[in-house]
Amino acid sequence: MSQSASEHKPHRRSANRRALEQKILGAAEITFAEHGFNGTSLEVIAEQAGISKQNMLYYFPSKESLYQHVLKSVLDLWIEKMALMEQDGDTPAVMLENYIRGKLELSRKRPYGSKVFANEVISGAAHLKFYIENDLLPQLEADMELVRSWIDDGKIDPIDPEHLFFTIWASTQTYADFSSQISLALGKSSLDEEDFRRAGDFLTHVLIKGLGIREYRE
């Protein structure tokens, strides 16, 4: 066997392993969202992933381990994608609009992940406490410091930064966590991309205007 071929084998194995792990995590995310932690069995997740339970346990040795990985993958994605201070733009209005629309886009693309997260928090966040305290809260504090600087510079009204973020999180994640309710209210079988665009238009208008930002475009 040539050196080139032998070098490619480990890379292929590594890529195949990552692909299979993501397939398992995707199946687990859907199943945990639909049935909760206690209502989910490894057999159902394995069936959803299209592999044997024994094979799945090679990658994730327990339901607890798999659940922790699903929760962490969701939280890691939110922290990576949703830092206000890292949004494009050089004004509070543009940065906040990108933040709000980005949160809505995550609700559109990862609704099951959002539901797993919501169910865990509603249940007391026992599995998430460490991640929230060590990963989410430092990012939140950095973002709130940015908002405080906008207040100090007179760019936005003096508001509570904490409640600004709580409101954005609640209003954007509801389109994932309560999508069935919203769909029924709109007389639709499911929400589509246009529904999320309209939600983004409304939320950015209400929230940004509510902060007293004068340069926000109509």
What is the pLDDT at residue 217? Answer: 58
In whole angstroms, give the CA distance from residue 32 to residue 27.
9
Q: What is the pTM of this model?
A: 0.85
Residue 128 has a CB neighbour count (10 Å cut-off) of 20
Q: Which residue has the higher pLDDT, 78 or 206?
A: 206
What is the pLDDT at residue 201? Answer: 97
- Tokens for 27, please give them: 């199946």
Is residue 79's pLDDT more than 90? no
Is residue 19's pLDDT more than 70? yes
What is the pLDDT at residue 194? Answer: 97
What is the pLDDT at residue 4? Answer: 53
CA distances for 114 relative to 71, 92, 157, angstroms: 9, 26, 30
Give Cα 82 to chain centroid, integer Å: 8
Residue 64: closest CA among 37, 93, 34:
37
Half-sphere exposure (Cβ direction) of 138: Cα atoms closer than 13 Å: 8
Q: State the average pLDDT over residues 22-47.
A: 94
Is residue 1's pLDDT more than 60? no
What is the pLDDT at residue 216? Answer: 60
124 phi-psi bin (left φ>0, alpha ψ -120 to 50, beta other): left
What is the pLDDT at residue 15? Answer: 82
The secondary element (H helix, E strand) that includes residue 107 is helix 92-109
